[in-house]
Chains A and B, each alone.
Chain A
């Protein structure tokens, strides 16, 4: 049978997206894993991955540039706190996409977070997440490492969450009790009970640590099993700082260190499965190019995405750099997003689930204009 993806590749791109019926899988199912790290609050992409080769950076920003970024290429450096991530870049297991954003310019956290999770242009227009829909199309399961089930993976046929309780004088409920409670509830709660039952079978009430690092360890552990979840979602909150966010050291840089150690932890705990995995960050928007009055930056537009995992074959910094001169900025204040971040998400879905790009943009993002960036990011 002809491999559909190769077939499409051979066609001129204009034709690739039209006129062909879209089938499900394009090749033997890829047993890949996706881990999304949601950076809540809007990560300052220019602080994380500064374009040190762009002189306008230093004209626009007085304080908020790390003193000693690690140089990646003539244009870009990376904040020195990304030690693990830099190492992954060196061994061709990481890529960066800069000047990118979900298609949202409104600068509201809540609309922005909603769009980064639903993956559509209109905020609050659906109740499912882009990853949930992708999981649904690929018929796979996932896990959210949080108390609630994030919108990002809603819509999937099956997902579960993990965030161990710590209430003194209590223990995990027994299965027979759970069944009695279940019997009194309506259909819409059945999934919750099934999952709760399963998690009880797995026993173990011992792990209480719930910081992003411990949850990353637990995610990797669960995902490396053959029948474990294929998707995990982690959240690192508190990027929403507007004052004294720090340059070389400080609050944002501390969050970089945390994010960096989560990358390191995932590689370690996924073990062999790392080679089939892709970890990507999302954030609702970037920050203003210039500092505000309080050594911070305010809600902006373009930011940066960090990706790592064994599915990447060759590291790269992907950007269609818009520049930082006053003229080049979005509404005279923000880094322009020249890459729709949904095309990055689509590439990750393609890499990990083996879904056809056309299918992804149709069923998951419902936007035929999303470009294929797979080859840029994964090499």
Chain B
């Protein structure tokens, strides 16, 4: 049971800031957290995120297209290599998107009031990992996180699963954009021309194993293949999206009346799809774009999905030593509500409040909490103080917010494996990880915190042992670092 309100606000969110009015009634605060929406940022005039740096999916793909077109032009122009590199660099910087997304990620965590919502966004962004890469998926990862996941956390899991699975980032990351039905017109034509084409089962496999039923379901290779057949025809390669859209339109594979902004919501190419019936887990699916929606609904509503995801949520919020009963409480609610995420998230919060199990926090969760609770200005518009300062520098987005995420090994824009980041303490306590925590704590100290190490220890109910370490430290900086790197702040 979380008696200390300050610790509780960290268990499910990013904690209170020194300026916050601490709620008398924590149940009321819990309600606010459950009802807060995706945009609840900067309401006190601080940390308001500029609308001009929120990008729609269409804008993102347009920026990417602009950059690629300029890049190709410069590369074919007859100019000196130095000049060429410079022009390409400028074109890239002018059209950047993901560095703003990363800055926003910090900004929202530090200034937002909807911290349970944001923690949920991070959980689901990890569950539905789309790795970044130098082949331009970074342009649209922010859309997946903010516009797709962030906007679909209070409805049926089916809706979230459907939107994420058909997001251009997911279709690209797990290679579905390279998949075409064995008997599709596209594959036949390609093969007649001596080129290779056919099914790719990467997304299909992870949709089953990671995103929904897990290997506990004991599906067969044949099931995987048939899911791949249903998925064939969905998606376009992100790096070449606009051009391929135009090409497919002029080839007649996309109907004339379908606009770009419509297509990106339903990126289906009939000539790459597999004709005929498909059988998955004993259920038959007809040909055409409707099947994927039926398949996703079936997988989302499967009992194994409920089990798999209840367990994952429990481990993420409650801790890796969560009890079977605690998981079961979430599972029962999942079943009773048929996967209504508003209900599932509510029960996750309630079970977390009652538990005695501790969770070792991800490095970014801990870092954002430390900035917030100490009143530091790691992101600050007015006073740089070893923070990041303005969003732009000489008209270009800052790199360091991304650089730090990379350094601490927890970066949703990095290239990584589809099973996401670990939830286990032992994966985050290597000497190198710990070295970075201490460095980050010293950076936060340099960002003008309003709380001292001793004050933090008092408010957060540190043990006598930790308080002793803090009082023994010689400088206020060391006291602060000891407080931030304490077990009480790393594990909650």
Contacts and interface: CB of A to CB of B under 8 A. Distances in A.
A237 B478 CA distance: 38
Question: Interface range on chain A: under 10, 10 to 19, 20 to 34, or 35 or more?
Answer: 35 or more
B438 interface: yes
A243 B205 CA distance: 16
A350 interface: no
B433 interface: yes
A99 to B, nearest CB: 21
B215 interface: yes
A293 B465 contact: no
A372 B319 CA distance: 43
Interface of A: 40, 62-63, 106-111, 127, 144, 146-149, 154, 160-163, 165-173, 176-178, 180-181, 183-186, 189, 192-193, 195-196, 199, 237-238, 240, 242-244, 291-296, 298-299, 331
Given A161-B431, A162-B432, A186-B487, A180 B417 contact: no
A178 B439 CA distance: 12
B180 A173 contact: no
A183 B419 CA distance: 35
Given A167-B404, A170-B439, A184 B463 contact: yes
Interface in B437-475: 438-440, 442-443, 446, 462-463, 465-466, 468-470, 472-474
A294 B200 contact: yes
Given A177-B473, A184-B462, 5 more contacts: A108-B209, A180-B482, A183-B465, A292-B201, A293-B197
B175 A242 contact: yes
Interface residues of B, number: 61
Interface in B234-283: none
Contact of B469 (A167, A171, A183, A293): A183
A167 B419 contact: no
B478 A170 contact: no
Most buried by B among A161, A183, A294: A294
Contacts of A172: 435
B175 to A, nearest CB: 4
Contacts of B403: 166-167
A111 B200 CA distance: 20
A165 B431 contact: no
A233 to B, nearest CB: 12
A62 B446 contact: no
B198 A109 contact: no
Interface string B405-417: 0010100000101
A242 B200 contact: yes
Nearest to B186: A293
B485 interface: yes
Contacts of A171: 439
Nearest to A170: B439
A358 B463 CA distance: 49
A291 B210 CA distance: 25
